[in-house]
Structure 1
Amino acid sequence: MSTPKYKRVVLKLSGEALAGDQGYGIDSAVLTSISRQIKEIIHLGVEVAIVVGGGNIWRGIAGTKRGMDRATADYMGMLATVMNSLALQDSLESMDVATRVQSSIEMRQIAEPYIRRRAIRHLEKGRVVIFAAGNGNPYFSTDTTAALRAAEIEAEVILMAKNNVDGVYNTDPRIDPNAEKYDTLTFLEVLNKGLAVMDSTASSLCMDNNIPLIVFNITTEGNIRRVLMGEYIGTVVRGNHK
């Protein structure tokens, strides 16, 4: 295939992916690698929107377990995603990739407010759009944000980038050496089997809006391009039919 399989995509980056092997904070080498891969697909004419998690800095659920109010803990997690978004924007723009950060929580000094039509216009002009601060509400994950934004901007696929995990398994492959990898799944199978791909709200949104999901390992340089060119790496999750 000489042209990309998809024209407009949402790339879902976990906070853990940005942390790399250090497990916390932002690994500059990982950030540079991801930015290079994004620049590569921009040059192929692909329109790229990104949703970044914040687990490398703060997890709302972890705060809740320590007795913190759930809404407060989740808002802190949203702020962590803004920090990651700004770091990614800076890295991309150092490579001459035009980038806009749009935040669901207003902070005009550092990011645009999220406006759907403006986001689509940025994409049409070849700019990368990074959606920060989740969807602006507690009790929702950044996986759900990725599904929601993908539906809003009419993205053709969600690329779920994982750190050192090359797809969806029946158990955690980092713990169980006998874990079996799935090549294809349906969202109903993900929900029924309780697979840790994305939370149930996000899975339902993708299923209802017929948005496929590709789970792959971003640690291997060039994997984003490989996925977009149609190579069969990772796991593909679709609607009710594989």
Structure 2
Amino acid sequence: MNAEQGLMENQGSDSYSAECEWNGCGSVFSNQNDFVEHVKDHTKDQKGPRRNCFWSGCDGKSISFKNLSRHIRTHTGVKLYVCKYVDQNGVSCNKEFTRPQNLKIHKLEHTGKIITYKCAHCDKAFKNNRDKLEHENLYKDPNYYRCPVVNCLKNYGHLRTLGEHVHAAHGENVWNKIQTFRNENNVENYGLIRMDEHGNLSLNSGGAGISNANQGVSVRKHFLYINYQKI
């Protein structure tokens, strides 16, 4: 039983039970604070700007240190942000959220002022303008968020997921080199950037790595840092 299941089963009662599923730990807790502190202790063994989550069934690899606590809360079930809205009958909402952005959007449901950002090219709508703009970039080029590493060519729908992929599959230094090259050459489209097997970067008007897709270059051999190797 994970923490969220435990919270649901014990909702409305004084009982609490949660099992730590970090790397097969299996410790069981009857107090949520003790459980949360225990899980935090597991994360302290890792160093550096990016960390891995070893929760059972989680594919959280190469998470930035500043986002780690928020990610861990998805496993512990802790929701720090509570809606304080009270309706005309004196009924409190008390809905809980793990992220402040989600609470902010939720509050708009009470006021009837929900704002959506509609794509200029299709019927999709988004809750924030940044997600809308990232989505619209795919209409400029479906390879806008393609991995620039030769012989990889994985496509993503958002910059965040592309960055997580490069960190996890090729190493943090590769992502930093790509960002530096992109800024120096004023290139927004990642599909136009190509990194060869030697780590050299160039502009490719045909898309990232297309002309080298069948060369059989071992991306893992050249780019994969042991710290970010998928287990």
The bucket for the TM-score relative to the shorter chain is under 0.3
Larger-Rg structure: 2
Which is richer in strand?
1
Q: Report which structure shows greater RCO (CA 8 Å, sep ≥6).
A: 1
